[in-house]
Structure 1
Amino acid sequence: MTGMSEPGQSDASSSSEFPIFTGGPLYRLQQRIRVIRPGERRLGLAALYALLVAWVPMMLLSAAEGLAIGPTRLESFLMDFEVNVRFLVTVPIFLFAEAACGDQLRSIVRQFEHACLIAHEARARFAQVLSDTVRLSHSGRAEMAVIGLAYVHSLIAFVYVLYYPETTWRLPLRDGRHVLSMAGGWYFLVGFPLYSFLLLRWLWRITLWWRLLRQISRLELRISPAHRDGAGGFGFLSESLSAFTLFVFATTALTAGGMADFIVYEGDSIAQHQWEIGGLVVFLLLLIAGPLLAFIPRLYEAKESAVFQYGALSSRHIQRIDRKWLTGHSLEEDPGVDFRAVAHMGTTMVAVRQMSVIPLYKDDVLKLLIVALVPFLPLVATLVPMDEVLNLLLKLVL
Structure 2
Amino acid sequence: MSQDTYSLMRGGLVHRVLHASGALHRSRRLSVWLAGLLTALALLPMVLLAQAEGMLWPRPGAMALFGDYATLARLLLGLPLLVLAAPRADDLLRSAIRQLTHASLVRPSRQPRLIALLTRVRRYRDSWVPELVCILIAFAPSFYQSGVVSLLDGVPDWRSQHGVATTAGDWYGWVGTPLFRLVVLLWLWRFVLWTLLLWRLPRVGLGLHAEHPDQCAGLAFLGLAQERFSALAVAGALLVCGACLNQMVYLGVTLHDLRHLLAGYVIGACVVLMSPLLLLVPVLVRTRRHALYRFDALGNRAAATFEQRWQAASEATAGSESLVDTGDASAIADFGGVYQSIVAMSVIPVTRWNLLSMAMSAAVPLLPLVLMAFPFDDLVAKLMGILV
The equivalences for 1:40-59 within 5 A come to 40-59=28-47
- Deviation (angstroms), 1:153: 4.1
For residue 15 of structure 2, what is the aligned residue in structure 1? 27
C-alpha distance after superposition, 1:133-190 (max 9, x if no partner): 22222321111111111123445766561796554322211xxxx2221111111111
Per mean C-alpha deviation after superposition, the further-off stretch among 242-251 and 97-106 is 242-251
- Deviation (angstroms), 1:121: 2.7
Secondary structure at the counterpart of residue 149 of structure 2: helix
For residue 339 of structure 2, what is the aligned residue in structure 1? 349
Question: Could you tell me how far apart the structure 2 residues matched to 1:259 and 1:155 are?
Answer: 28
Question: Could you tell me how far apart the structure 2 residues matched to 1:65 and 1:102 are?
Answer: 42
Question: Could you tell me how far apart the structure 2 residues matched to 1:291 and 1:109 are?
Answer: 15
- Deviation (angstroms), 1:14: 9.9
Q: 1:38 to 1:23 in 2, by over 3 A?
A: farther
Q: 1:385 to 1:233 in 2, by over 3 A?
A: closer
For residue 381 of structure 1, what is the aligned residue in structure 2? 371
Q: 1:386 to 1:223 in 2, by over 3 A?
A: closer
Specify the code of the residue in structure 2 equivalent to 1:269: T
For residue 127 of structure 1, what is the aligned residue in structure 2? 115
Secondary structure at the counterpart of residue 256 of structure 2: helix
- Deviation (angstroms), 1:109: 1.3
C-alpha distance after superposition, 1:286-310 (max 9, x if no partner): 2221111111111111111111211
8 A contact 2:306–2:328 mirrored in 1: yes
Secondary structure at the counterpart of residue 244 of structure 1: helix
Mind listing any 5+ residue stretches in structure 1 that lack a counterpart?
Answer: 1-12, 331-335
- Deviation (angstroms), 1:353: 1.1
8 A contact 2:150–2:156 mirrored in 1: no
Aligned counterpart in structure 2 of residue 308 of structure 1, from 265, 274, 293? 293
The equivalences for 1:226-241 within 5 A come to 226-241=211-226
The equivalences for 1:188-267 within 5 A come to 188-267=173-252
Q: 1:294 to 1:33 in 2, by over 3 A?
A: same
Question: Could you tell me how far apart the structure 2 residues matched to 1:394 and 1:213 are?
Answer: 50
For residue 138 of structure 1, what is the aligned residue in structure 2? 126
Q: 1:387 to 1:115 in 2, by over 3 A?
A: closer
Question: Could you tell me how far apart the structure 1 residues matched to 2:140 and 2:256 are?
Answer: 33
Question: Could you tell me how far apart the structure 2 residues matched to 1:389 and 1:162 are?
Answer: 34
8 A contact 1:15–1:109 mirrored in 2: no
C-alpha distance after superposition, 1:260-296 (max 9, x if no partner): 1111222211221122112222221122211111111
Question: Could you tell me how far apart the structure 2 residues matched to 1:194 and 1:293 are?
Answer: 32
Specify the code of the residue in structure 2 equivalent to 1:85: A
For residue 322 of structure 2, what is the aligned residue in structure 1? none
For residue 9 of structure 1, what is the aligned residue in structure 2? none
Secondary structure at the counterpart of residue 221 of structure 1: coil
> Identity over the aligned pairs, expressed in percent?
28
Secondary structure at the counterpart of residue 271 of structure 1: coil
Per mean C-alpha deviation after superposition, the further-off stretch among 259-268 and 86-95 is 259-268
8 A contact 1:270–1:379 mirrored in 2: yes
Mind listing any 5+ residue stretches in structure 2 that lack a counterpart?
Answer: 317-325
Q: 1:49 to 1:200 in 2, by over 3 A?
A: same
Aligned counterpart in structure 1 of residue 49 of structure 2, from 48, 61, 65? 61
Question: Could you tell me how far apart the structure 2 residues matched to 1:271 and 1:167 are?
Answer: 25
Question: Could you tell me how far apart the structure 1 residues matched to 2:15 and 2:121 are?
Answer: 17
C-alpha distance after superposition, 1:17-56 (max 9, x if no partner): 3121112222233345554327834221111101221100
- Deviation (angstroms), 1:16: 8.1
Question: Could you tell me how far apart the structure 2 residues matched to 1:246 and 1:311 are?
Answer: 44
For residue 305 of structure 2, what is the aligned residue in structure 1? 320
Aligned counterpart in structure 2 of residue 107 of structure 1, from 95, 102, 113? 95
Q: 1:354 to 1:39 in 2, by over 3 A?
A: farther
Question: Could you tell me how far apart the structure 2 residues matched to 1:143 and 1:107 are?
Answer: 24
Q: 1:348 to 1:389 in 2, by over 3 A?
A: closer
Question: Could you tell me how far apart the structure 2 residues matched to 1:311 and 1:274 are?
Answer: 49
Q: 1:375 to 1:156 in 2, by over 3 A?
A: farther
Question: Could you tell me how far apart the structure 2 residues matched to 1:307 and 1:14 are?
Answer: 41
Question: Could you tell me how far apart the structure 2 residues matched to 1:365 and 1:104 are?
Answer: 17
- Deviation (angstroms), 1:117: 0.6
Question: Could you tell me how far apart the structure 2 residues matched to 1:280 and 1:156 are?
Answer: 29
Question: Could you tell me how far apart the structure 2 residues matched to 1:117 and 1:73 are?
Answer: 63
Matching of residue 168 in structure 1 with residue 153 in structure 2? no
Specify the code of the residue in structure 1 equivalent to 2:78: T
8 A contact 1:20–1:138 mirrored in 2: no
Q: Pairwise CA RMSD of aligned residues? A: 2.9
Question: Could you tell me how far apart the structure 1 residues matched to 2:27 and 2:112 are?
Answer: 29
8 A contact 1:155–1:188 mirrored in 2: no
8 A contact 1:172–1:180 mirrored in 2: yes
